[in-house]
Structure 1
């Protein structure tokens, strides 16, 4: 069986430099990274290789989607493993959770490729904890990419 890779792409009407900037700006990430139905807060911020951030995602309605870290939240410690300006951001994500189904280190690779008047953004997740369903995870990534597009395309 092949290793699982959750992958979603989207063309965003912004330059690779602008997309890269939105991946490394604290206020921008707080605005666009939380998928639909969630809000986000960054508690720690160190945007350099070897640095990272801690994000608390809160479900707007926790009744239908219990969190991994508490009833209403998902908390993730994210490390920047590789930063290539205008081309790629590689993150190592560890969820704060007591359930072993959410344990481990997930790698999220954000590849940026200039395409006409925009950027093709491809997000690939490997090492995804078994407790995260692939279809749900890909829908969440797609939602975040939609938020990123709206954030960058509004100006």
Structure 2
């Protein structure tokens, strides 16, 4: 299941992994901050029709997080742990509380492309192909695409 768009989303045929890639008009420092500052993160994460509220956010190696996204009165809770937080890479777990056994191990890389551009690469490893395919069927690509579009706009607007 490959999707070609501004955000490339790929399912690895050999491993239960989803990889995403997107280039941003922003520095690695700006993207890193947008992923570690809870107020900024809440502004861009997820589909446009949803709002996000941070319950807990400790973006450091060994820290944890929990937030809720809401649409039309329905809440979707997520939580995880930050295993490694550094300016060029983050490693964290990600759990949708509606499927508490479906834990993903996510790694994000912030690659400086020069000229104020950064490539964000992410990899999500789950425990089975069935779990990976369920994530893909969940509509996650809408949340990723719309969230990253909001992030791009936020970074451009905040830099102006």
Equivalent of residue 133 in structure 1, options 124, 133, 136: 136
| Cα-to-partner distance string for 1:49-74 (whole Å, 9 max, x where unaligned) | 111210101124x7xxxxxxxxx121
Unaligned runs of 5+ in 2: 1-12
- C-alpha displacement at 1:43, in angstroms? 0.5
The ranges of structure 1 where at least 4 consecutive aligned residues each deviate by more than 4 angstroms after the TM superposition are none
Matched residue pairs, number? 141
Structure-2 separation of matches of 1:9 and 1:134: 19
* Length-normalised TM-score, structure 2: 0.78
Partner of 2:114: 116
Cα RMSD, aligned residues only: 2.1
TM-superposed CA distance for 1:125, in Å, is: 1.6
Relative to the length of structure 1, the TM-score reads 0.80
Residue aligned with 1:133, SS: helix
Aligned to 1:49: 61
Between 1 and 2, higher relative CO (CA 8 Å, sep ≥ 6) is seen in 1
Give runs of aligned pairs for residues 134-149 of structure 1, distance below 5 A.
134=137, 136-149=139-152
User: Which runs of 5 or more residues in structure 1 are unaligned?
Assistant: 63-71
Q: Report the alpha carbon displacement of residue 134 of structure 1 after superposing the two structures with TM.
A: 4.8
